[in-house]
Structure 1
């Protein structure tokens, strides 16, 4: 039994291009499946979170991260009687717009695109699922439902003020009501993203030896987790001990979101998904007490992991890769792959050309960007790519 404020596929607002719906799958299931089969989703396996793709096979990639987010989101939606297929679709799509090299690549591309309208990974995800995926006979993009597009666009809250150009461009065709909150399912996807990366960044930082288990055992929330593990499993070996502690940390974050969401929903008493959108506040968030503790952990990760000397050095190197690829493709548009030539031929302004180059570079994996940089810049092989 779904909650009255859960998103109902039978009441979905439909797709920009009308289609005959599936007999066997709801519209949200179909959205999820289209995202899974998208080429941009497959490329996430070679796009990284913090580390660059070649630095180790055990570190999370955007693909494994997205799967973890979807798993957490389905769990929370199940506990809150929300629609699990919609939250899964939003969770799986939320990182599609990330360029190579994580936030470092995004910062570099945003700087390069500043004269041409900027770059934003959330807006780029909308551009991918509404335009750049070009496989279907009747439309560009994936022709997702309004609810899934809304969730991708504003899962972190209303989008107001200076709206990223890629999002503004699509919104002019298909109003996503950017001034309102998204569905509860999309909000769950957003919090699941926070839960997943806070947990797995601790795992990855330990594996990279940027900090130790003893460092974590002194942190809020985590200290109690280690105490509980030591009480229950005295003498447990190092690797199992830290895994058991991080398991408990993960569970605490999930349970806190569920408990706090139940309290918030009980206070607001929404009777429809429309009530969620117009509540004027988020429904799904951490409790204030846990959030204060989590901020301490996030600050620790910022200094000890995201700004670790080895990570900062790699950031410099990959930033240079993006900074050198962009002007090269702007000057030598013939180097773009064959399937991009039609867009190039139709571009009449420098801004349009910059957006094509931005789309192409942002779609690269870490591996491919490094290979192309070595081939074209370092070795000077100015022949068209076959990607």
Structure 2
């Protein structure tokens, strides 16, 4: 039984290009399926989460991260009696706009795009699903429902101030009411992202040898989880001990979101999804004590993992890749693949051309960006070490 404030597919605000509805799938199921079948979704397999894709087969990539976010989101949405298909669609799409090399690539591309409107991976995800996926006969993009687009655009909260240009273009055609919060399903997707990366970054950091199990025993939630495992399974092999502890950390975060959000929803007394959009604050949330604990875990990861010397060295190398590729293609747009030539021919100024080059580079996987850089700059150190 769905809650009265769950998003009802029968009341969807529809698609930008009207389509006949499916007889056996809801509109949100179709959105989710289109995202899974999108080229940009497949490319996430070879895009950095923290470690560059080729550094190891066992580290998370943007694809495995997105799948884990989707799994957490389905669990929370089901328990809160929300719409699981819409929740999963937003969860799976939330990182579609990421560049090669993760936030490192995004920082470099944003710097390069500063004279042309900047770059933002959330706005780029909207651009991908509204413009850049070009497979359907009747429209560009995936022609997703208003609710799914809203969720992708606003899952982290209202978008205020000057809009990223890619989001502004979409919003001009299909008003996403960016000043309000998203519906509850998108809020679930946002918290599921936090849960997934706080858990798996601990796991990947341990696997990479950036810190040890003993190094994290002082952390809130984590230390208690290890102690529980040690009490229940004394002498357990280190790998099983680690897995058992971190899955307990995972469970604490999920349980906290569910119980806290249930209380928030009850206090709000929402009777429809619009009550949640206009509540003025998120209703899917961590408790304050757990949020403080997560901030401490995050600070540890930032210090020991995201800014570890080996990670920073790789960040330098891959930043150079993006810094070299962008100006090359901006000055030689004829070297872009054939599918981009029509866009280049239609460009009337350097800003439009820069945005085309940005779209191309943002869509690259780690390995393709490294291969292109090695081909175009064979004497570069980044090409030799990539």
1:78 aligned partner: 78
- 1:26 equivalent in alignment to 2:26: yes
1:146 aligned partner: 146
Shift of 1:285: 1.1
In structure 2, what is the Cα distance between the partners aligned to 1:21 and 1:299?
A: 47
Moved over 4 A (4+): none
Shift of 1:377: 1.5
Pairwise CA RMSD: 0.7
Q: Which runs of 5+ in 2 are unaligned?
A: 381-386
Encode CA deviations 1:133-166: one digit per residue, 9 max, x unaligned.
0000000000000000000000000001121110
1:289 aligned partner: 289
In structure 2, what is the Cα distance between the partners aligned to 1:92 and 1:322?
A: 26
- SS of corresponding position for 2:377: helix
In structure 1, what is the Cα distance between the partners aligned to 2:255 and 2:314?
A: 36
TM-score of the superposed pair, with normalisation by structure 2: 0.98
2:266 aligned partner: 266
In structure 1, what is the Cα distance between the partners aligned to 2:54 and 2:67?
A: 20
Segment drifting more, 214-223 vs 331-340: 214-223
- 1:12 equivalent in alignment to 2:18: no
In structure 2, what is the Cα distance between the partners aligned to 1:159 and 1:287?
A: 23
- 1:242 equivalent in alignment to 2:249: no
In structure 1, what is the Cα distance between the partners aligned to 2:163 and 2:259?
A: 33
Shift of 1:222: 0.7
How many residue pairs end up in the alignment?
380
1:375 aligned partner: 375
Residues 98-113 of structure 1 correspond to what in structure 2 (within 5 A)?
98-113=98-113
TM-score of the superposed pair, with normalisation by structure 1: 0.98
- 1:3 equivalent in alignment to 2:3: yes
- 1:95 equivalent in alignment to 2:95: yes
In structure 2, what is the Cα distance between the partners aligned to 1:378 and 1:117?
A: 31
2:120 aligned partner: 120
Shift of 1:379: 5.8
- 1:325 equivalent in alignment to 2:334: no
In structure 2, what is the Cα distance between the partners aligned to 1:65 and 1:247?
A: 15
In structure 2, what is the Cα distance between the partners aligned to 1:273 and 1:379?
A: 57
2:207 aligned partner: 207
1:384 aligned partner: none
- SS of corresponding position for 2:5: coil
1:253 aligned partner: 253
Encode CA deviations 1:175-210: one digit per residue, 9 max, x unaligned.
000000001000000000000000000010000000
In structure 2, what is the Cα distance between the partners aligned to 1:294 and 1:185?
A: 22
Segment drifting more, 245-254 vs 371-380: 371-380
- SS of corresponding position for 1:123: helix
1:218 aligned partner: 218
In structure 1, what is the Cα distance between the partners aligned to 2:17 and 2:181?
A: 24
In structure 2, what is the Cα distance between the partners aligned to 1:110 and 1:378?
A: 25
- SS of corresponding position for 2:48: coil
